[in-house]
Amino acid sequence: MHLGNIWSFLLCWLAVRSRGGTLVLRMEDIDPDRSRPEYADGIMRDLAWLGLDWDEGPDVGGPYGPYVQCERYDRYAAVLEAWQREGHVYPCFCTRKELRALASAPHAEDCGPAYPGLCLHMTGVQREAMVAQGRRAALRLHWPEGEIVFDDLFHGRQSMTWEACGGDFAVRRSDGVFAYQLAVAVDDADQRITQVVRGDDILHCTPRQIVLHRLLGVQPPTYAHVPLVHDHEGARLAKRHRHFEVFRMRESGVLPEAIIGYLACRAGLQTECAPARPEMFIHSFRLEDVPRAPVVLEADIADRLLKLSASARCSGR
């Protein structure tokens, strides 16, 4: 985990703890190319080191497990089978190359070109011919109803058409991998999630997930899409920012109190950057008071965190 991940998790942790709620840690590992058991272990180790705990999750269990998506494939498959019978999803034989060639299609911000429904009205004979050619099908969700409207705690009222959301989107890839959108919506419904706190880079995905909740017959959670963390040049933190990874900072001598104290200061929870523990802010925290602007890290952030760590050692925190 890097500082941007910790920022989002800290705000989620405080939002739950300040209201006496239940914090759920879920491992979203449906993509076999990007998920390994050691990554999950590293996430839990980093969070525990920072003093950020959870009430339900892969290691502690809970009433709505399993909390690891790769153990829930049967559930996702059952949902898709039901939706196929009801006519909500359909096979799509379009390849990535063919979709990339749709340059003239309407473009949805963050979602890419809206899918124009090329496979929506294929007949059974046409589909059988595609299969006979060796073409594998993804499954796409069709939603014919109008705009999707929801309120976000940070971004206010959001209203998007289905086309603006990217049109009919894949809920299962042609290689059989379930889509992130499907998995998180089914998990949110099954695990009784009532509030989602996450980075605002996921805001554009939310209308799709709300539609999936409607098809599941459940009330969608409320959403709070918090600002992201950027490096000093304004680039959003990502996996390439290896020097901002928690375990690397831990190995360099940075203490957890330094990281929490710094992020708490940037969230407006304390007036100056001083070492702190997460529980210090539970009773005063209000998610609505978190600044709306992205967090831009200073160029010398590593030195700042080391100085805060030295201060924590001197004060005995």
What are 281-297's pLDDT values in tens digits?
999 999 999 999 999 99
Cβ atoms of 196 and 260 within 8 Å: the answer is: no
Shared-domain flag, residues 98 and 172: yes
With respect to residue 79, please indicate whether it lies within any of the assigned structural domains. yes
Shared-domain flag, residues 140 and 249: no
Cβ atoms of 151 and 244 within 8 Å: the answer is: no
- Reported pTM: 0.91
Shared-domain flag, residues 79 and 209: yes
How many domains does the chain fold into? 2
Shared-domain flag, residues 87 and 104: yes
Shared-domain flag, residues 108 and 57: no
Q: Residue 143 and residue 154: Cα distance in Å, rounded?
A: 27
Shared-domain flag, residues 153 and 287: no
pLDDT at 165: 87
- Tokens standing for residue 193: 């999630």
Q: Other C-beta atoms within 10 Å of 229: how many? A: 23
What are 209-262's pLDDT values in tens digits?
999 999 999 999 999 999 999 999 888 887 666 778 999 999 999 999 999 999
Q: Other C-beta atoms within 10 Å of 295: how many? A: 19
Q: Which H/E stretch holds residue 177?
A: none
Shared-domain flag, residues 199 and 79: yes
Shared-domain flag, residues 144 and 283: no
Q: Which H/E stretch holds residue 157?
A: strand 156-160
Shared-domain flag, residues 77 and 122: yes
The CATH number that applies at residue 8 is 3.40.50.620
Shared-domain flag, residues 77 and 194: yes
167 closest CA partner among 220, 114, 90: 114
pLDDT at 106: 46
With respect to residue 294, please indicate whether it lies within any of the assigned structural domains. yes
- Dihedrals phi, psi of 173, to nearest 5 degrees: -70, 165
Shared-domain flag, residues 162 and 282: no
The domain boundary residue, chosen from 203, 226, 249:
226
Half-sphere exposure of 59 (CA within 13 A, CB side): 13
Residue type, 261: G
The domain boundary residue, chosen from 226, 257, 286:
226
Domain, as residue range, for 116:
72-226
211 closest CA partner among 153, 167, 155, 156: 167
The domain boundary residue, chosen from 168, 203, 226:
226
79 closest CA partner among 179, 222, 167, 194: 179
Half-sphere exposure of 14 (CA within 13 A, CB side): 27
What are 120-145's pLDDT values in tens digits?
999 999 999 999 999 999 999 999 88
